[in-house]
Amino acid sequence: MESWLLDVVCCPLCRGVLVAEAPGARCGACGEVYPLREGILDLHPSPSAESLQEMAAHEAMEAKWLDEIVPAHLHDRLTGEAGNRLHWSFPRVEDKELAAAVPQFKRLDDIAQDYFELLDWLRLERGDVVVEVGAHMGWSARHLAERAGRVVATDISPHLVSAKNYWTDKVRFECVYSNMATFPFRDNSLDLIFAVASIHHLADLTSFFKHCRRALRPGGRAVFFAEPVAGRWDTEARERFGAEEKAMGIQEHIYSIGEYFAAARGAGLTPGVVPMTSLMRDPRRNWPWLRRIGLWLIESGLGRRWLFRRVIYRLMLVFYPRIPFPHFAFVLTNPR
């Protein structure tokens, strides 16, 4: 555990300052002790019943995924040297047979171009402090750490220990077991909060966004990529979304763009939508001349100015929610 980590985390119970105490940390205010678990600071040592149910459901889903979804003749590509190559390629999935056979890998490969375009747009600097929520096995934290100076990968999942497999001599990030609902980071300590398809698991967006506002420095950003969006009147999508996962005990929600914006504004953050250029290059879309205009707007920079980010794309998502997924990001800015 690097010493700088204790400069940004805090006690999830009382927000007190944590001090190093072998083998982990202790809250200087309430005295709660937080151990290291497999070398990772555990700020979620006493999971709630909801968290335990969520973790158990994810384990069951993963077992089902391997037994029922991945074809048996492809199992050997998930382990050993082949598995290492696969994980190091994420979010790209270079094994196209695997991507074609497994929907989860196909979705991951589909976001790869957008993901790297988003990282370029963010223009991270080596002095930035970044927290990724819902980091799971850590592939995104690795890419963030290649660009930013101090990165913390967080998750409640025990699979977070696998994130250390992405460490190299030149790229390293910290890992912390924590719950999004408590978000144990100090006030005004972060430059960026980042997530890939994670915050739709939250039942209370406003509460989480208030944590983001508290922890972000003035001008800091919370960026949420590849989140599902429901149209205002798309009741069928809301009922259908994540039905299998919910039946197994996983928290799944689908929000409208209006709900995302209202929650952000209620927390004091300025919301916007940033599209990726792949949206306009998709040959399956109608209106090629409109897509050419849209591509020019984005590439020229005009299409990412405040009028488009805060108004035009928001209106598009109200009436045509299937346009952006996964070709966009929510960007919430903490006012200076």
Q: Could you tell me if 130 and 148 are in contact, meaning their C-beta atoms sit under 8 angstroms apart?
A: yes
Average pLDDT (197-215) is 94
Q: Does the residue 212 lie in any domain?
A: yes
Which amino acid is present at 316? Answer: M
Q: Does the residue 77 lie in any domain?
A: yes
Q: Does the residue 22 lie in any domain?
A: no
pLDDT band at 323 (very low <50, low <70, confident <90, very high): very low
Enclosing domain of residue 233: 40-333
| 73-132: pLDDT as tens digits | 888 988 889 889 999 999 999 998 999 988 888 889 989 999 999 999 999 999 999 999
pTM: 0.92
| Token pair for 187 | 């006030």
| 39-72: pLDDT as tens digits | 999 999 887 777 777 777 777 777 777 777 888 8
Q: Does the residue 61 lie in any domain?
A: yes
CA distances from 269 to 129, 134, 260 (A): 19, 21, 11
Indicate the burial class of 72 (C-beta count within 10 angstroms; 0-12, 13-18, 19 or more).
exposed
Q: Does the residue 297 lie in any domain?
A: yes
**DSSP 3-state of 18:** strand
- Locate tokens 């090629």: which residue? 288
Q: Does the residue 205 lie in any domain?
A: yes
For the cut 90, the answer to whether the pLDDT of residue 3 exceeds it is no
Longest CA–CA separation in the chain, Å = 63
Q: How many domains does the chain have?
A: 1
CATH of the domain at 45: 3.40.50.150
Q: Does the residue 60 lie in any domain?
A: yes
Angle at 320 between CA 271 and CA 207, to 5 degrees: 30
